[in-house]
Chain A
């Protein structure tokens, strides 16, 4: 929902704190997710993730969430799927050239990021979206990654 999404991006600290508290729990439960099997854990955790993030952020379940780097404004709501900042077509009133009724997702992201502790994460260049991951759970992926500290970083 647009109004909830705007609210979330304007109060990103709440979600940063909440996620930082949630992340270790998610990681500690990794043996549980593993025992459940990939398919079942995806079904359960993925559904919870989808419902909550859809409500809060208009999440598109890209499967490679970067909300923490984008001021809690979901960049997949950008009609050009920009993952690295606003395009050059932002209107003078700050709205989107493709959807003039919507404020630029990256304006929300920039303002949101400046309210967060990790405000400089927005400067990291994001790799292209892996379209295979669409619909899968970022939470489970993150839990798997965090519980294997020696893993190499990027999947691209």
Chain B
């Protein structure tokens, strides 16, 4: 990692302009493979073993794990610590940064520290409001928003300087991601907002849960028309729903989650709702592989993490590829050598 040449200033194009990929996720994407990322939930604990146990569930089935940063405004182990622990074992991670809890001074320091600890990928988020979580009394910070966060980290990386203009002796060499939610209003603004994020430095995009293929297709068409498909890798979010009741609850209570009635009716009518939820997820991954511009999927299986390997396998999304796992240590990165 440290030997990588810094990217050319001013280029945010993840596909071709960079001399060297920064991590396995970027390598997989640039090689044109269908990438699988997943969400790893940080524990409510200070025990590193809890982190390793959670990661072991996914190994060999995912290209990278996103350690969430106080997701849903609930307090857990920090994303940077999770990623640092996991990168010690060789795992590829995506560190998430939410603007809700820290100001620009803290965030920039964290980014430098994360890169120093071996973290290759950072996802820039605005974050859920504090009202959604277990500490609604907390002060919402929102000093930056996801867009200015992207620009800030791009500045650290490419211009080698803080927001203040003060220079860095070495910038953080990170692959930058952002989120988008094509499933909530204003629908016609979403692709344009993505263009803005790409202009601010986003190289890969993970979306909110996709349960509505027509809306996603519409969004992807708009992205194509704006020329975004060549400038960033788009990984729609997917996930297994546990039951019709859980789906209704999510739709009602989790900000930004859109689940069409047809999906809920299908779950309602199933004998084994949990299995049906997995089937819907598998079918979605299969359908997404056929959508132009989709570079992979981001699986969010909250409290159903153990079902991820079976879902990935059944979807056929990996073809005959096996993502890196610690026991493969002897021949890492072998699959991407020809890329």
Contacts and interface: CB of A to CB of B under 8 A. Distances in A.
B184 A128 contact: no
Contacts of A88: 126, 179-181, 184, 208, 255-256
B2 to A, nearest CB: 29
Which of under 10, 10 to 19, 20 to 34, or 35 or more describes the interface residues of B? 35 or more
Nearest to B251: A92
Interface of B: 99-100, 104, 126-129, 131-132, 140, 142-148, 151-152, 163, 179-181, 184-186, 188-189, 192-193, 195-196, 199-200, 208, 255-256, 258
A126 interface: yes
Interface stretch (A27-35, A78-86, A132-140): A78-86
A126 B126 contact: no
A90 B145 contact: no
Contacts of B193: 84-86
B255 A84 contact: no
A107 B185 contact: yes
Given A82-B126, A84-B148, A123-B196, A90 B163 contact: no
B126 A87 contact: yes
A24 interface: no
20 contacts: A79-B129, A80-B127, A80-B145, A84-B146, A84-B196, A85-B189, A85-B193, A86-B185, A88-B179, A88-B184, A88-B256, A90-B185, A97-B132, A97-B256, A98-B129, A98-B131, A104-B185, A126-B148, A128-B143, A128-B144
Contacts of B143: 128-129, 131
A60 B195 CA distance: 28
Given A125-B147, A125-B196, A128-B152, A91 B184 contact: yes
Question: Which of A85, A92, A126, A131: most chain B Cβ within 10 A?
Answer: A85
Nearest to B182: A88
Question: Which of B188, B208, B255, B258: most chain A Cβ within 10 A?
Answer: B255
A80 B142 contact: yes
A125 B129 contact: no
B280 to A, nearest CB: 20
Contacts of B146: 84, 87
- The list of the 4 closest CB pairs from A to B, nearest first, reads A88-B181, A89-B255, A84-B147, A97-B255
Contacts of A57: none
Nearest to B125: A88
Contacts of B148: 83-84, 125-128
